[in-house]
């Protein structure tokens, strides 16, 4: 039967290191967190839909928003939201789907890299 390890089994240095590790976890966001799901579905998705419609229109007809108009500030705000989303993604944990990783590894392992080397050596001898 394994023995229980308590705080008295660690010296002060080890306890300080453990507390630093626990404090750094406070900045991590679970990808299934309600805040994160609300952010993605309630903020990012509508802005992406707006950009998917307006960006081609603005680029095709050379139609920029008038400076300091309501549309100008909305698009400026959406740019700032996307920048904030980048930083939020740095703090969000990820889940790795092992099926995808295994299939990617099997895809890479099946690439016929030797066929390319044989073709190169054959061309060099000509």
pLDDT confidence of residue 20:
45
Q: Which pLDDT band holds residue 62 (cuts at 50, 70, 90)?
A: confident
DSSP 45-66: HHHHHHHHHHHHHHHHHT-PPP
pTM: 0.57
* For residue 78, pLDDT beyond 60: yes
For the chain, which residues make up each domain, given as ranges? 29-125
pLDDT confidence of residue 82:
92
Which one has a higher pLDDT value, 44 or 32?
Answer: 44
pLDDT confidence of residue 97:
63
pLDDT confidence of residue 32:
82
Task: For tokens 């990820």, name the residue.
Answer: 94
User: What percentage of the chain carries pLDDT values higher than 90?
Assistant: 30
Interior CA angle at 25 toward 24 and 31, to 5°? 135
Which one has a higher pLDDT value, 114 or 45?
Answer: 45
């Amino acid at each position: 039967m394994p023995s229980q390890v308590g705080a008295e089994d660690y010296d002060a240095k080890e306890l300080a290191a453990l507390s630093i590790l626990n404090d750094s976890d406070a900045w991590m966001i679970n990808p299934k967190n309600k805040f994160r799901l609300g952010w993605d579905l309630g903020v990012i998705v509508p802005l992406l839909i707006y950009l998917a419609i307006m960006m081609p229109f603005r680029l095709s007809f050379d139609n920029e928003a008038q400076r300091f108009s309501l549309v100008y500030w909305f698009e400026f705000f959406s740019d700032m939201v996307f920048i904030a989303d980048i930083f939020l993604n740095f703090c969000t944990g990820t889940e790795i789907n092992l099926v995808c990783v295994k299939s990617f590894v099997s895809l890479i392992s099946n690439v016929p890299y030797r066929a390319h080397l044989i073709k190169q050596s054959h061309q060099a001898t000509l």
